[in-house]
Structure 1
């Protein structure tokens, strides 16, 4: 077991909202800013990522997806780091707690017409879409997206076990940042965390391992419930990643990063993305949970690469 972060380790991050002062959801985002974020990620050992566009009006999301696709098409350095786009929303739960930092007014039921517009905006670069299975009860959109070669993840959801199973049967491959995007108080036994863990043999499950989104003692328990081949570590990074305390932006929202490094929404009731780079998360997994290099590599590189290669 390594006692420190390997200087040669490289990572694949499936959820990056921004980095190093750059917000991928900003309306003013430029190609130069995207290149700066990519350079910073590469310096922090991230070889590739999925740039993440979160819930907003459909037109705003389409514009942001298209802008990221334009940048990757026009700049080989950007394309070398941003290997695709993760669309998180707008087909999420609107219920307080589950909706997280996504604006409830922009949430909508899953439908193919809207999904087609989002996918077309990416011109083949949308690789992952997170939705709430209860917004797609028949599983029809999940099946269609899967048929397009897009990884479908559940997230920001209070799906029942039956709804989860329907989604899995229709191609659901993943769950987005388990242990987050749910209310602080939930039923003790029948809750979304327990339901997903009961399907850990059938789903890849991503975790934000910053120690804030999930306390490390709870993260240890979750990781013990999931087969190594199904664990994926994501940063959920925002523009604050790697910059320290201060006020930053995520899709028009102010996010305050405190002295400990936690990224809070303005209301201070929930987190809004994350300010911790993957390499810092790796250090915590090693020093606080004793995770060895083999599992670190599997969770941060091999497993996310496998998901991308399979679709």
Structure 2
């Protein structure tokens, strides 16, 4: 049995007991400021971070035509260093044969490698059923954008053998609403994004089963009607959670604050939209068929243009940014990377509770900045800052 001590939410001192891959006991007491502070009181403990939109990481792009699923081993090891213990490999718009191939690669990697299997929550298909217009399409290749086709999608769904768990769709496309309904009834988490719907279509999409706005504020037109637009409608809709890319280049601080205030802290999910350029030095990388360039300022752009294409963000930085941008406590931002995304999926809670899998992040903080010290995955210590310094 392992006992981990530190502070958890609410400034409480906790002893978390682990046995095998499970949390068996959580004992807490309120900290007394007059008490002499011990080393364990410098350590904060959070559940493992959850990232539902990861296109690649540490030099590996999941959208390459020659992507090898075995490369996910190194991806997982590097994600662990950023506190992420569960993630969704994300495939963007591409030829359906490539999507089928890369879904198969991820599925086989999960079958063959326990580490990958323990960290992959499910595949997120962000496309190809998105709006083809410039603006909403974002960096997705126009040649492979399609109208929703359930029969075609079902082939990809079946190839995943239960691993495809999320899909992002433009609801205004022909058969878009019917597709959302079938996907939702099939147990998929449905996001709306890269879209241009009238406000009433957003209502219909939610009634059909859509649950989240994918990277709200990005994959949009440069110019919109100041009041009647799909961005305002999604902000106001109580039936939609919202994921946001909290890196600065994608969203300014005041927009992040607006989203947190409009949706409420319980309905905001932090994502990284990470790519091969995340957790990697500045330079040129591949993102699907695009060449992208990571600048010193952290922005990732289609090479030779000013257009953003994915990000270099990591989750611990997203949490810091959200806390600072929105002016909220760090614990609230952490919930946006743990409890909130877990609400979308069965089988995880994003909480430090008895009988939950023992995924823990131990960290120190200074002025809302996070330094990760140790990360446990299913009860096993897989990262320690002491061992790499």
- Structure 1 counterpart SS, 2:344: helix
- Structure 2 counterpart SS, 1:300: coil
Between Structure 1 and Structure 2, which shows a larger proportion of helix residues? 1
- Asked if structure 2 preserves the Cα contact closer than 8 Å seen for 1:11 and 1:45, the reply is yes
| Cross-structure match for 1:277 | 314
TM-score (norm 2): 0.76
- Displacement, 1:210? 0.6
| Cross-structure match for 1:241 | 278
| Cross-structure match for 2:355 | none
> Which of 66, 77, 89 lines up with 1:51 in the alignment?
89
Alpha-carbon distance in structure 1 between the residues aligned to 2:174 and 2:61: 29
| Cross-structure match for 2:195 | 157
Q: Any stretches of 5+ residues in structure 1 without a counterpart?
A: none
Q: Stretches of 4+ moved more than 6 A in 1?
A: none
Q: Residues 170 and 77 from structure 1, CA distance in 2 versus in 1: closer, same or farther, beyond 3 angstroms? A: same
Alpha-carbon distance in structure 2 between the residues aligned to 1:223 and 1:174: 14
Alpha-carbon distance in structure 2 between the residues aligned to 1:269 and 1:189: 27
Q: RMSD over aligned Cα, in angstroms?
A: 1.9
Alpha-carbon distance in structure 2 between the residues aligned to 1:99 and 1:308: 26
> Which of 233, 243, 246 lines up with 1:206 in the alignment?
243
Between Structure 1 and Structure 2, which shows a larger proportion of strand residues? 2
Q: Which has the larger radius of gyration?
A: 2
- Asked if structure 2 preserves the Cα contact closer than 8 Å seen for 1:175 and 1:206, the reply is yes
Q: Any stretches of 5+ residues in structure 2 without a counterpart?
A: 1-8, 11-41, 349-389
| Cross-structure match for 2:342 | 305
Query: How many matched pairs?
Result: 308
- Asked if structure 2 preserves the Cα contact closer than 8 Å seen for 1:63 and 1:121, the reply is no
Q: Residues 236 and 168 from structure 1, CA distance in 2 versus in 1: closer, same or farther, beyond 3 angstroms? A: same
- Displacement, 1:108? 0.9
| Cross-structure match for 1:71 | 109
- Displacement, 1:186? 2.1
Alpha-carbon distance in structure 1 between the residues aligned to 2:317 and 2:176: 40
Alpha-carbon distance in structure 2 between the residues aligned to 1:169 and 1:310: 24
- Structure 1 counterpart SS, 2:276: coil
- Asked if structure 2 preserves the Cα contact closer than 8 Å seen for 1:239 and 1:248, the reply is yes
Alpha-carbon distance in structure 2 between the residues aligned to 1:290 and 1:281: 14
> Which of 252, 255, 260 lines up with 1:215 in the alignment?
252
- Displacement, 1:295? 1.3
| Cross-structure match for 1:104 | 142
Aligned pair 1:257/2:294, yes or no?
Answer: yes
- Asked if structure 2 preserves the Cα contact closer than 8 Å seen for 1:244 and 1:261, the reply is no
- Displacement, 1:234? 0.5
- Displacement, 1:211? 1.0
TM-score (norm 1): 0.94
1:4-83 pair list within 5 angstroms? 8-9=45-46, 10-83=48-121
- Asked if structure 2 preserves the Cα contact closer than 8 Å seen for 1:137 and 1:166, the reply is no
